[in-house]
Amino acid sequence: MCANQILASNDAKMTTEEMDLAGQLASQLRVDSIRCSTQAGSGHPTSSLSAADLMAVLLTGHLRYDWTRPDQATNDHLIFSKGHASPLLYSMYRAVGVVSEDELVNTYRQFGSRLEGHPTPILPWVDVATGSLGQGLPDAVGVCLAGKYLDKLPYHAWVLCGDSELAEGSIWEALDKASYYQLGNLTAIVDVNRLGQDGPTELQWEMDRYAQRVTAFGARALVIDGHDVSAIDAALTEARSDPDRPTVVLARTIKGKGVKEVEDKNGWHGKALPPEMADRAIAALGGRSDLQVTTSSPDAGTPATTRDPDAAVTLPTWEVGEKVATRAAFGAAITALAARPEVVVLDGEVGNSTHAGEFQDVCPERFFEMFISEQQLVASAVGLSVRGYVPFASSFAAFLIARPFDFIRMAGISEVNIRLVGTHAGVEIGQDGPSQMALEDIAAMRAVHTSVVLYPSDATSTAALVRSMADTDGISYLRATRGSYPVIYGSDEQFPIGGCKIHRAGTSDVVALIGAGVTLHECLAAAAELATAGIAARVIDLYSIKPLDRSTLIDTARLTGGRLVTVEDHYPQGGLGSAVLEALADTDLPPLHVKLLAVQGLPTSGQPAELLDAAGISARHIVTAAKDLLGA
Amino acid sequence: MCANQILASNDAKMTTEEMDLAGQLASQLRVDSIRCSTQAGSGHPTSSLSAADLMAVLLTGHLRYDWTRPDQATNDHLIFSKGHASPLLYSMYRAVGVVSEDELVNTYRQFGSRLEGHPTPILPWVDVATGSLGQGLPDAVGVCLAGKYLDKLPYHAWVLCGDSELAEGSIWEALDKASYYQLGNLTAIVDVNRLGQDGPTELQWEMDRYAQRVTAFGARALVIDGHDVSAIDAALTEARSDPDRPTVVLARTIKGKGVKEVEDKNGWHGKALPPEMADRAIAALGGRSDLQVTTSSPDAGTPATTRDPDAAVTLPTWEVGEKVATRAAFGAAITALAARPEVVVLDGEVGNSTHAGEFQDVCPERFFEMFISEQQLVASAVGLSVRGYVPFASSFAAFLIARPFDFIRMAGISEVNIRLVGTHAGVEIGQDGPSQMALEDIAAMRAVHTSVVLYPSDATSTAALVRSMADTDGISYLRATRGSYPVIYGSDEQFPIGGCKIHRAGTSDVVALIGAGVTLHECLAAAAELATAGIAARVIDLYSIKPLDRSTLIDTARLTGGRLVTVEDHYPQGGLGSAVLEALADTDLPPLHVKLLAVQGLPTSGQPAELLDAAGISARHIVTAAKDLLGA
């Protein structure tokens, strides 16, 4: 190996006194990690013990953080990508004085406690929920993009990673983007303790092979003994030294370090020490202590990018009847939103198809190309949200939702605010075939905590909803269509999230056709055809699928004698039709008769109209379903 | 760079005549790629042109394939991970005589054609659907695991990758596992044409950086000029030479090669050449031709692992009332299934928690540890299915479904047969907290093409269903619980997929409580409590959520006056409750009143019983919901 550095103790920057303090702190962190997990009867003490020296040195000599002001813009970020080492993290919080001994020891993992089994941002010092491995580092890339390119502040992100999680591809997506964007403000500290949950890791202590990978992906690899305080100090000092290269500290450690009975032993992952063993271990570690550490405070500073949520945004407008793709409307709307300096756009190398690229044309400084790595695409959005930005991430819906679904799930748990725009949804895309067709995204996204699911049918509503998304908390998802369809709404129309639009309403309507996106157009065509047969059908544009307008649905079902046809360019399970059924599950309505039209079977290539028809969701099928309900 | 090899022309193994033939074939492949895409009016000709020389040499001199017998066990595998180069693939099929000129030119991308926009296994020579980038190579790892360890046959997998897809973390998960398992039978051929869909790729033509990454991940990197026939020949020859190291041929190519007007030009991705340009290009390439290539046939051979689906399997049994976790029952059942030599188990480094590790104890030769890389976990299962094995992949449900969801989606499109067992579902897991709780997996999995969703409540039904999964086509998913609960069923009970079990049935039942998994036990407790209040409630164990027993649900709703309570340890959208509503959406039943009990809000850490109660799905809540329905 040529590229990685092995640091020796004489590179250390801390004073001897500081190093002594770090050593004492490490013992306390170990003792506290054991105490809280043994008291809880579960948790991951051995995974905490291996990293205690690393974190003691970080806290004593390198982290810049004002613990009384977690919202201070210049604070460093500390992210435990190995979230199971929460005993260590919470012990650090005790050491800096923001968590009491009582809270730590007596509430960890208990119902109602802030100190959950894996960290969540219910704690003000936690940026993102972790515990699904391989996500903390990708999230930190988003934080560091903000730091370097938007805030332009000197804060640093320190990420504690496990060695097992280096098997996740997302780690390499993260390092790749960190080096591409020259994120010298990012340091991953990898606790290479050789043992996973279930036996040795793939590479065990082959530090050179880890270093080779890290270097190949464009980061600096610093290999150290993770229990040598001065070597750690030297590495963390070095980590801040290059403004343009991310650093990965590869720390060789021993799982369970400090407790001889479990050191480097398999079978102790995720197990609290039994009380007697804990007592022996605590005694051997020097007993309980109450060391308090004062970390360096960061310099004052404010982000270079000033938020201006009230900035004037002039949305594009279209003539009713004009044919426009909703993805094009997204591109135009997001470009208009560039007027708000907190809006950031992230692309998955398809900006020319999603129209996100139009934002880049007017605002390249707030456009980040993530190439084809959708996990990192979402993780970057999460990190930008942590820093208070308003990120929109877009790609084809099939890839945007399915590929990073675990990242979206965790973003829900983090309760961050991100916006996802997925284009080319459904069979409507045509010739590219089923691999490119999102047909399960509505089901998946509806089930995510904090999610909002939008599916507009025309350009006007798309633009209005894109603007609303910027001010919507949680994870908002807008589903857009490939093809061009007539604009339905005038530019003064309002589209509240949770609303819907009614078309062709009459007091004698006997059936309602409920669609969204491309199927709304099919519903309108079907209603027109039904009218020629003397059947009065109203059409509901359910552009907001979650939340949805339950009261209008109830009124509609009452009016039409419970006859509803739902139509969606999506598989039959869990989508728009299910959302309608869930809303009407417990009412005092007369019997409901709901025909759920959705994509049947595996679609193929073909023209959009052919595929909509073959899937059973074209106007012809809607007419038949409505007539069936009426016995006509 | 030290580790990668740059091959010179004088390493070539083909004769001059063969090389001439390959050159002519390359021209024909280019012409045909242009013809079919121009005729279709869409497609990716320029991405086909860049790889034409690579594939011409592969076909002429290296691929061993009996085109008349795609099921021949010793055939090589050819997988287009860059599925958008389908014009090239189909042109190869024409060159070997299995697709006619008429089919190629006149049906490509048309409705009803086998030649879809991206390849799918509707064609007998296609192993897996591709088109979501970064999946073909991971799938091939599964094929090669089968080849090396189970079939023990000398077939080779050749995977054509794009350079853009090297940004997907899944590619690195694949190479990591390929080197870990010493898959010398795997060769990735990367078409480094520098241009993605939307501008230059991240690394463009930095071949050394690609090579460094490949080498660091344990594969051989061979850097060549991808238009030099003899260099290609040398590389593909070399690729077969090491039985224990996978090879990555990094071929520097020019996008659009052979058509001067588009060569190395941005803006031509995914665009057919206009007819006039196509005519000029075809003329410049020497015009249409009808070259037929005979590829080498593989030697005869049969897999070392003989399938025996009728082998005697003795399932474990338990006493009714005994407390057993369903995950433990899975471990016992899968271990019993080791008697069937086609059953293979894949683990995500949690085999001690999922109990999959018990299979390893009795059958290490058919157990593959994928470490913490769930995308590769599923992809390996896909590849093993291609080779006719019966793979079970297991991990925690939260990670097993959400992390590789795009791989599961594509497995549905491939219509392969894989089994997924996700343990530790729902809030029931307790202290580990929300990051470890699958709460959206039922919604996501129900919406996957070919999926079967099972959620047993006790050990007996779990074991029976695990056995059924081995004989179930498509993607079957079994959701298992962490904690131990009483065995409900005797060992002679049958659990057909699509069935359910009724408990406490009476002719005067006024409400039905529908649960599965852990909530079935809550439903039983609630029914007992309701009985003490004089309310007759039957309980339905909906262990098969997809497909489900619609007729029993209809009968039940009719009997109870439409009063149903559904209860699930899952978010309220798209899960068990929605499945019930979908099944009852269009019946002649009296008005339904369905209470959907599901997890409300964001769970925390705590004891299982505390969390079930806080989520609103414990017996207490079920009793209240039932009484509400009755106005009691």
Residue B198, exposed/middle/buried by CB under 10 A (0-12, 13-18, 19+)?
A: buried
For A587, name the nearest residue in chain B, comparing CA atoms only.
B593
Residue A462 corresponds to which tokens in the numbers above?
């798309």
Amino acid at B438: A
Looking at the complex, report in whole angstroms how far the Cα of residue A351 sits from the nearest Cα belonging to chain B.
7
Amino acid at B135: Q
φ/ψ of residue A326, rounded to 5: -65, -30
User: Per-residue DSSP letters for B113-125?
Assistant: -SS-SS--TTSTT
Q: Are A143 and A179 in contact (CB under 8 A)?
A: no
CB-hemisphere CA count at 13 Å for B120? 24
Residues of B with catalytic function: 374
Spell out the residues 6+ positions from residue A555 whose beta carbon is closer than 8 angstroms to its own. Answer: none
Q: Which of B109, B218, B357 sits opposite A431 (nearest CB)?
A: B109
Contact B440 A176 (CB under 8 A): no
Q: Which of B406, B546, B594 sits opposite A585 (nearest CB)?
A: B594
Looking at the complex, report in whole angstroms how far the Cα of residue A298 sits from the nearest Cα belonging to chain B.
31
pLDDT of B6 strictly over 90: no
Taking the C-alpha atoms of residue B419 and residue B408, their distance in angstroms, rounded to an integer, is 10
Asked if B446 reaches chain A (Cβ–Cβ under 8 Å), the answer is yes
Residue whose structure tokens are 């819907």? A500
Residue whose structure tokens are 């343990």? B423
Q: What is the pLDDT of residue B9?
A: 44
For A562, name the nearest residue in chain B, comparing CA atoms only.
B591
Looking at the complex, report in whole angstroms how far the Cα of residue B627 sits from the nearest Cα belonging to chain A.
14
Give pLDDT tens digits for B230-243: 999 999 999 999 99
Contacts of residue B608 in chain A, CB cutoff 8 Å? Answer: none
Taking the C-alpha atoms of residue B438 and residue B346, their distance in angstroms, rounded to an integer, is 20
The mean pLDDT of B505-521, rounded to a whole number, is 97
pLDDT band at B13 (very low <50, low <70, confident <90, very high): confident
pLDDT band at A13 (very low <50, low <70, confident <90, very high): confident
Residue A377 corresponds to which tokens in the numbers above?
């695409």
Task: Give how far Cα B365 sits from Cα of A500, B311, B343, Å.
Answer: 57, 18, 11
Asked if B592 reaches chain A (Cβ–Cβ under 8 Å), the answer is yes
pLDDT band at B476 (very low <50, low <70, confident <90, very high): very high
Contacts of residue A433 in chain B, CB cutoff 8 Å? Answer: 109, 116-118, 120, 131
Residue whose structure tokens are 């013990």? A49
Q: Verify whether residue A374 is a known catalytic residue.
A: yes
Spell out the residues 6+ positions from residue B56 whose beta carbon is closer than 8 angstroms to its own. Answer: B22, B23, B25, B26, B29, B229
The mean pLDDT of A571-597, rounded to a whole number, is 97
Asked if B353 reaches chain A (Cβ–Cβ under 8 Å), the answer is yes
Kind of pairing between the strands at B195-196 and B199-200 = antiparallel
Give pLDDT tens digits for A223-239: 999 999 999 999 999 99
For A576, name the nearest residue in chain B, comparing CA atoms only.
B574
Asked if B6 reaches chain A (Cβ–Cβ under 8 Å), the answer is no
A–B interface: beta-carbon pairs under 8 A: 364
Q: What is the pLDDT of residue B3?
A: 39
Q: What is the pLDDT of residue B43?
A: 97
Element (H, E) at B207: helix B207-216
Shortest CA distance to B153 belongs to which of B380, B18, B305? Answer: B305
Give pLDDT tens digits for A303-354: 999 999 999 999 999 999 999 999 999 999 999 999 999 999 999 999 999 9
How many residues are listed for chain B in this entry? 632
* Helices H / strands E in chain B, number of each: 23, 22
The angle at the Cα of B75, spanning B72 to B79, to the nearest 5 degrees, equals: 120
B420: phi > 0 → left, psi -120 to 50 → alpha, else beta; which? Answer: beta
Kind of pairing between the strands at B390-396 and B418-423 = parallel
* Helices H / strands E in chain A, number of each: 23, 22
For A349, name the nearest residue in chain B, comparing CA atoms only.
B198
Taking the C-alpha atoms of residue A622 and residue A529, their distance in angstroms, rounded to an integer, is 10
Contacts of residue A369 in chain B, CB cutoff 8 Å? Answer: 199
Spell out the residues 6+ positions from residue B612 whose beta carbon is closer than 8 angstroms to its own. Answer: B427, B428, B518, B522, B569, B618
Taking the C-alpha atoms of residue A331 and residue A336, their distance in angstroms, rounded to an integer, is 9
Shortest CA distance to B41 belongs to which of A432, A427, A428, A323? Answer: A432
Identify the weakest region by mean pLDDT among A40-44, A89-93, B10-14, B385-389. B10-14
Looking at the complex, report in whole angstroms how far the Cα of residue B42 sits from the nearest Cα belonging to chain A.
8
Give pLDDT tens digits for B112-170: 999 999 999 999 999 999 999 999 999 999 999 999 999 999 999 999 999 999 999 99
The mean pLDDT of A618-632, rounded to a whole number, is 97
Taking the C-alpha atoms of residue B384 and residue B139, their distance in angstroms, rounded to an integer, is 8
Asked if B614 reaches chain A (Cβ–Cβ under 8 Å), the answer is yes
Taking the C-alpha atoms of residue B379 and residue B395, their distance in angstroms, rounded to an integer, is 14
pLDDT band at B11 (very low <50, low <70, confident <90, very high): low
Contact A614 B43 (CB under 8 A): no
How many residues are listed for chain A in this entry? 632
Q: Which of B171, B197, B594 sits opposite A352 (nearest CB)?
A: B197
Taking the C-alpha atoms of residue B419 and residue B400, their distance in angstroms, rounded to an integer, is 11
Element (H, E) at A248: strand A247-252
Asked if B333 reaches chain A (Cβ–Cβ under 8 Å), the answer is no
From chain A residues 144-183, the ones with a CB under 8 A of any chain B CB are 164-165, 167-173, 176, 180
Asked if A544 reaches chain B (Cβ–Cβ under 8 Å), the answer is no
Residue A146 corresponds to which tokens in the numbers above?
């903000």
Contact A118 B577 (CB under 8 A): no
Asked if A595 reaches chain B (Cβ–Cβ under 8 Å), the answer is yes
- Dihedral sign for Cα A616, A619, A620, A626, please: positive
Asked if B475 reaches chain A (Cβ–Cβ under 8 Å), the answer is no
Spell out the residues 6+ positions from residue A245 whose beta carbon is closer than 8 angstroms to its own. Answer: A179, A182, A184, A218, A219, A220
Contact A585 B604 (CB under 8 A): no
Q: Are A266 and A112 in contact (CB under 8 A)?
A: no
Percent of chain B topping pLDDT 70: 98
Residue A6 corresponds to which tokens in the numbers above?
């092995």
- Whether the link from the prior residue into B547 is cis, omega within 30° of 0, is yes
Contacts of residue A435 in chain B, CB cutoff 8 Å? Answer: 83, 118, 120, 129-132, 410, 413
CA-only gyration radius of chain A, Å? 28
Mean pLDDT rounded to a whole number for chain B: 96
Asked if B447 reaches chain A (Cβ–Cβ under 8 Å), the answer is yes
Give pLDDT tens digits for A411-458: 999 999 999 999 999 999 999 999 999 999 999 999 999 999 999 999
Count Cβ neighbours within 10 Å for each residue of B306-315 and write b for 16 or more, e otherwise.
Answer: eeeeeeeeeb
Looking at the complex, report in whole angstroms how far the Cα of residue A128 sits from the nearest Cα belonging to chain B.
11
Element (H, E) at A435: none
Contact A375 B169 (CB under 8 A): yes
pLDDT of A10 strictly over 70: no
Q: Which of B168, B398, B591 sits opposite A132 (nearest CB)?
A: B398
Cross-strand bridge partners of residue B425: B438
Q: Are B165 and A372 in contact (CB under 8 A)?
A: yes
Cα dihedral B568→B569→B571→B575 (10° resolution): -40
Q: Out of A238, A342, A358, A374, pick the active-site residue.
A: A374
Contact A595 B585 (CB under 8 A): yes
User: Per-residue DSSP letters for A182-211?
Assistant: T-TTEEEEEEE-SEETTEE-SSTT-HHHHH
φ/ψ of residue A528, rounded to 5: -65, -40
Shortest CA distance to B57 belongs to which of B178, B154, B186, B189? Answer: B189
For A396, name the nearest residue in chain B, comparing CA atoms only.
B132
Give pLDDT tens digits for B37-53: 999 999 999 999 999 99
| Helix, strand, or coil (residue A553) | helix
pLDDT of B284 strictly over 80: yes
Q: What is the pLDDT of residue B277?
A: 98
Q: Which of A122, A180, A406 sits opposite B202 (nearest CB)?
A: A180
The mean pLDDT of B569-581, rounded to a whole number, is 98
Give pLDDT tens digits for A538-564: 999 999 999 999 999 999 999 999 999
pLDDT band at B4 (very low <50, low <70, confident <90, very high): very low
